[in-house]
Amino acid sequence: MTAPHPLAPEMLDALAELLEASQALHALRGQWEFAKDPAPPEWATTYNREVAARQAALSLDASTIRAASAALRAQAAAEAELREAARVLHGYSRRYCDGRSTYAPAEHNRATHTLLRLGVTLDPDPISKSGPFARDGMYGLEPADLAALAQAQEGQG
């Protein structure tokens, strides 16, 4: 899933405001045209019908745009909460799995690779020598884990 652009809700709000302003100006123009000539020429009537039809066809209304903006904000908030939960649980998982001779270290490390690929920031463990990865009690770290750890350490130095 691709995260929405951080300014997407603000851009949608601005679009809604522009749409409302455009509709208000269009209405004022119609009132002005009618005041000048209570029986507007055929081209003005045709123009007004075409504009109304295009707006209806696009179903562009400010409330729909504002709802999309609110949905994007809610999605961003939920994603931030999920990232925070993953960050917190990862620390407990690493502590539990590190040094065990079961499937737990391998499962933890697969999940860690996924979190890193998704851009979740994981807290460093001051005790761990294996970074965010859990060492298997019999085999230590797998080559993929060692490579990711080396790459992370190079980026810090």
pTM (2 d.p.):
0.59
Cβ 12 vs Cβ 5: under 8 Å: no
Tokens coding 110 = 């697969």
pLDDT digits (tens, 9 = 90+) for 86-131: 999 999 999 999 989 888 999 999 999 999 999 899 988 888 888 8
